[in-house]
Chains A and B, each alone.
Chain A
């Protein structure tokens, strides 16, 4: 910035001269702020705190029963995991789901656009932490619950209300948070 110009001949107040620069600097700060913090591409469900939408899904794999809204009405919190055998990250979170299941948390699954034999093979290969698995061929439950991808997990409390959404893989470091949410859902 150069030295202030000699008294301008107009009647504009000398302060007004600085307004465009200040506006520009404000804009610059906004841009830098926006660039340094790229927006998330995750779409959060707005169904948290609302009851699970009604659905009934047929079984997705041999020995596990299907899944319906009624299965959530027994005062027991559950982790609803949305997965698919064709989803690579879903295999990564399998051990974490197994750990939760081993600790006594009930994990139920919804297999998205999947074939029974593929689900069965996936469970053989990566373990089966699910008490029930519903088969959702047209993403109906996924859309109804506000989920936009696989894997996603929802904590459903004992009254069938959606309490928490976890987008993406449940990694080992996410387990304490999931346990905490399951504990909260118990109350």
Chain B
């Protein structure tokens, strides 16, 4: 009897009140039918920042807005847009911050140049030192 009551209680249970009560956007939690398109959408979503929970990607986040962004990405892929076009569309609106993919720009080039510079410096230092060693 108790088990029956418990089961009945489960039947009538309603999910806790969500932040908003609308059904999710069409492709927020639904994959695209074409696995190749879905793979491209997934790859892009993993490199887009969730604007509500900023250290997660929209692929990781359950925030309603991340769901809306996923749906937007999948619908655009479905409509034939290239992933990089979609990224550019978002960057146009939110700046580089929305994208996790590093980009070579006037501001970021030192980050790319520094390792090369350090390698060259190390190479020169080693060469001098080894030469000196040879001389003795």
Interface set of A (CB-CB < 8 Å, partner B): 41, 43-47, 84, 86, 112-115, 118, 137-140, 142-146, 148-149
Verify B51–A149 contact, CB threshold 8 A. yes
Verify B54–A138 contact, CB threshold 8 A. no
Verify B64–A41 contact, CB threshold 8 A. no
Verify A118–B93 contact, CB threshold 8 A. no
Other-chain residue from A43, A86, A143 in contact with B97 (beta carbon distance below 8 A): A43
Chain B residues, CB < 8 A from A138 = 25-26, 68, 71-72
Other-chain residue from B52, B64, B91 in contact with A148 (beta carbon distance below 8 A): B52
B25 to chain A, nearest CB (A): 4
Known: A43-B95, A113-B64, A145-B93. 8 other contacts (CB 8 A): A41-B54, A44-B95, A45-B94, A84-B20, A139-B68, A140-B72, A142-B68, A149-B52
* 10 smallest beta-carbon distances between A and B, as pairs: A146-B93, A148-B51, A139-B68, A138-B25, A113-B20, A86-B20, A46-B95, A113-B22, A138-B68, A43-B51
Chain B residues with a Cβ closer than 8 Å to the other chain, count: 23
Q: In this complex, which of B26, B51, B98 has the most chain A Cβ atoms within 10 angstroms of its Cβ?
A: B51
Given the contacts A43-B51, A46-B93, A114 and B20 also touching, CB distance less than 8 Å: yes
Chain A residues, CB < 8 A from B64 = 113, 139
Assembled-state Cα–Cα distance A145/B54 (Å) = 19
Total contacts A to B, CB within 8 angstroms? 64
B45 to chain A, nearest CB (A): 14
B69 lies within 8 A of chain A by Cβ: yes
Chain B residues, CB < 8 A from A44 = 95
Assembled-state Cα–Cα distance A112/B20 (Å) = 9
Verify A146–B94 contact, CB threshold 8 A. yes
B19 lies within 8 A of chain A by Cβ: yes
B94 to chain A, nearest CB (A): 5
Chain B residues, CB < 8 A from A139 = 25, 64-65, 68-69, 72
Verify A46–B21 contact, CB threshold 8 A. no
Chain B residues, CB < 8 A from A115 = 21-22
Verify B93–A114 contact, CB threshold 8 A. no
Chain B residues, CB < 8 A from A140 = 68, 72
Interface residues of B in 1-35 (CB under 8 A from A): 19-22, 25-26
Assembled-state Cα–Cα distance A148/B97 (Å) = 12
Interface bits B86-111 vs A (CB < 8 Å: 1, else 0) = 00001111110110000000000000
Other-chain residue from B21, B69, B94 in contact with A43 (beta carbon distance below 8 A): B94
